[in-house]
Structure 1
């Protein structure tokens, strides 16, 4: 009978294990710091308190939805309707308030509507075995069309001083209220994904849905529930945008879904499902917000801003993938 000889743990392997497990988060953190350094050198106003607060306000809607999108992508799905959902809820809350509905009641109605639409999308995709890409692509067009029809293409003003504007423009403890909302969502997302049974089930379904089903997990219900999260988050983002801008518009949040998905993937969550990181999503959202803000402060032509942003994001994702693969190989 052969025996396996005892060997000491190779020196340095513990650090390699750490980098293998956190390579993508560490690389996007380094990339984020690098972006901050470049923009700080290129603009005297980048590191000012006023600009930092402005970035936090602009970041909040993307970050809120990106946290929810992390759960969807972890299951192997995707939600392309978040931008249109934000536009629809943005317009509808303005219409409700304009017609005399108290803003707290209008907010609760909008959140309930967003959650219901999100859950319906998830149920159709999961129960009918239709790829979520197709379902949410159809919903994206439908919701944007309803928003356009509801507003006739015009902005709907929201009267100031009602208390609703505090959600988007208010300050609490010298921090913008939208940023505080985003922080609360981040904490809840982190706890549920990393510490809760629900998060473990979401990861399990994304890694192997059939194995999760055989283990007794309600896979269809889990797949539906993550879309409920993006529906709620998109509605919340629409409310924040309406409050900050003081109006509702069907043209709000154009391209929003691409920024959200880019933030999640840039942070290290796998599009194939089964691997997720809330910390990475936060860093990915911060990176996208800082890139947009920094390019404007450096007076880069708006015609080139989207091109430069796309190239930077693609390069960062490539770097993430290369570093992750290298450290993963060294771990073996």
Structure 2
């Protein structure tokens, strides 16, 4: 008994501090990289730190923030959802078609969220109930849903009448901030509460760590996974509605490559790609980093083609950091 006390009393704060720093190393690293990007672009161009540009970054990054929140939940369960970009385009295009046909704005918004959730339900069924790999299932729905968007629009952009309140989803202001950004912050706050302070969030983390152990504890693992994919689909639907409202038109070409940016934001934020660890704060920083990179490179007149190359390189680097550094460290500490 005395030996135990003598071993733990010399530096009681040091191991605890070291453990906390180790656990949050990924979030700290992306926070540092984000600050470096902001400082670099602030010196490179006078327009980057203007209020107009920063608010524009927030408005444009809102769909990414919204979908990245639920993608964090999906990846924490050791899953993946490649269909979010196609869902965004399909819901946005169908919303434009419905508004053009005279469907009330409220019904369009509710229907768009329900449609996105339905696509997520289909994904969840085949993944959780049928036992198919998430990558294959969502790759298939990516193609099907994008094809459906092309079918209903015939490849054309469908304009949205600006007389209704629907366009306010993408253009209105609230307390001096763009409404899309306010919605995104609300979604991320809800995602943080769910993941950190609810039983459902603990199930999500447990499934990513040891799904069989969670099942033996009496949890309906399949139902939890289905719910996660429903949330992912609904978030993509909301992002599609906001995008269509902001642009004033719906198109089947919206959201091409969007799933890459979403996954990059989540992984860059240090969520474990193999499940068991997720962080909404890290996802927020990862999404803002991608948004700042895209905006800043345009302001310094770099070709947008380089933006995709840089984002892809950052994603590869983030995955390498995730699998080679943070995961082994976590195992050693566990």
Q: TM-score, normalised by structure 2?
A: 0.94
1:86 aligns with 2:88: yes
User: What corresponds to 2:6 in structure 1?
Assistant: 6
Equivalent in 149, 152, 158 of residue 150 of structure 1: 152
Gaps of 5+ in 2: none
- Taking structure 1 as reference, are residues 36 and 316 closer, same or farther at Cα in structure 2, changes over 3 Å only? farther
1:271 aligns with 2:273: yes
Give yes or no for contact 2:69–2:283 (8 Å, CA) kept in 1.
Answer: yes
Give yes or no for contact 1:23–1:320 (8 Å, CA) kept in 2.
Answer: no
Partners of 1:135 and 1:224 lie apart in 2 by 13
Give yes or no for contact 1:16–1:330 (8 Å, CA) kept in 2.
Answer: no
User: What corresponds to 1:118 in structure 2?
Assistant: 120
- Taking structure 1 as reference, are residues 282 and 235 closer, same or farther at Cα in structure 2, changes over 3 Å only? same
Partners of 2:172 and 2:36 lie apart in 1 by 31
| Pairs within 5 Å for 1:305-316 | 305-316=307-318
Partners of 1:310 and 1:76 lie apart in 2 by 21
Equivalent in 152, 164, 167 of residue 166 of structure 2: 164
Task: List per-residue Cα deviations over 1:248-302 (Å, max 9, x = no partner).
Answer: 1000010000000010111011111111111111111111101101110111122
User: What corresponds to 2:246 in structure 1?
Assistant: 244
Partners of 2:138 and 2:322 lie apart in 1 by 28
User: What corresponds to 1:97 in structure 2?
Assistant: 99
User: What corresponds to 2:305 in structure 1?
Assistant: 303
User: What corresponds to 2:32 in structure 1?
Assistant: 30
Give yes or no for contact 2:267–2:318 (8 Å, CA) kept in 1.
Answer: no
Q: Considering Cα pairs closer than 8 Å and 6+ residues apart, tell me whether 1 or 2 has the greater RCO.
A: 1
Partners of 1:71 and 1:99 lie apart in 2 by 36
Displacement of 1:314 in angstroms is 3.4
Gaps of 5+ in 1: none
| Pairs within 5 Å for 1:30-49 | 30-49=32-51
- Count of equivalent residues: 332
User: What corresponds to 1:220 in structure 2?
Assistant: 222
Give yes or no for contact 1:75–1:273 (8 Å, CA) kept in 2.
Answer: yes
Q: TM-score, normalised by structure 1?
A: 0.95
Q: The residue matched to 2:293 in structure 1 has which SS? A: helix
Partners of 2:4 and 2:169 lie apart in 1 by 64
